[in-house]
Amino acid sequence: MTRVAWVPPRPQSIGEVLDTMFRIFLGTVVKSLPYGLAAMLVVQLPNLYDLARGVPLRGFGANDAVWWLLFAAGTLTSLLCWSAIMLRQSAMLRGEALSARRELAQTLRLLPGLAALFVLIALAVGLGTAALVLPGLYLAVALTLAWPALVLEGEGPIEAMRGSLRLTRGNWGHTAAVLLVSFLIVLAFVLAVTIAAVAVPLAGAADVALATALAAAVFIAMGAIVAPFYGALLIALYGNLQVRRNGVDLERRIAELPKA
């Protein structure tokens, strides 16, 4: 079982969690980029397959067993890379020596649990959304920390989901606010880079092929950077909610002690 990567000395505000996230991100992004790049490249396998065969990119409408096999392999491999980023960031925060072999071996052992976890979360959120929308929104936030619980603490899928629900109980609004601000930051980054990437070729005499290649390279680079950003977010949020929730649980247990 892996120890929690980082725990604050006291519960943090939304701004403090975001500040911690940025410090974790900036301190780990360079050494996490190889995993981020790998994650972005493997999800392009179905598109590369289409390009190699000289057919238009087909997306989810592809009626081709090989295409779907490549899609599944790319998705699972990308999930492993994102999980390895969290393990690497955790090791760096604890001052441990980095080892790609150890990180990949650990994520491979977790692969069945990871796959089961994301299927269960997708089903829970999907059913909640189909029912009344709001339950789906609640679960989408409340189950966010199941991923770091499984990766960083070695919990099973069900235990990780239960743990995430426990941590966010009473802290749902706090968690949702951190996630929303983080999403807006990523959105602003993506829009700024995308606009710059489009404006440069339009300003010159770049041809369509060059513009397309540039756009693809920018897309991959952005994804490689966003991956460790999200890992830092999960680590900062998970550590903070550990303090918030465990502190509440401790206060309740003390209150329930029999009076002398």
pLDDT one-digit tens code per residue, 237-254: 999 998 888 764 444 443
Please tell me the pTM assigned to this model.
Answer: 0.86
Q: Is residue 6 assigned to a domain?
A: no
* pLDDT in the model for residue 251: 44
Q: 197 is in which domain, residue-wise? A: 20-256
* pLDDT in the model for residue 207: 58
Q: Is residue 3 assigned to a domain?
A: no
Could you give the CA distance from residue 148 to residue 3 in angstroms, rounded to a whole number?
Answer: 11
Q: Is residue 2 assigned to a domain?
A: no
Q: Is residue 123 assigned to a domain?
A: yes
Q: What angle do CA 55, 61, 65 make, to 5 degrees?
A: 75
* Cβ atoms 237, 2 nearer than 8 A: no
Q: Is residue 252 assigned to a domain?
A: yes
* pLDDT in the model for residue 34: 95
Q: Which residues of the chain have pLDDT under 70?
A: 1-5, 61-62, 197-213, 247-260
* pLDDT in the model for residue 17: 95
User: Residues near 146 by Cβ (< 8 Å), separated by ≥ 6?
Assistant: 117, 121, 157, 160, 161, 163, 164
Q: Is residue 7 assigned to a domain?
A: no
* pLDDT in the model for residue 252: 46
Q: Is residue 245 assigned to a domain?
A: yes
Structural domains counted in the chain: 1
Q: Name the token pair of 105.
A: 């071996």
Residue with tokens 């725990």: 7
Q: Is residue 67 assigned to a domain?
A: yes
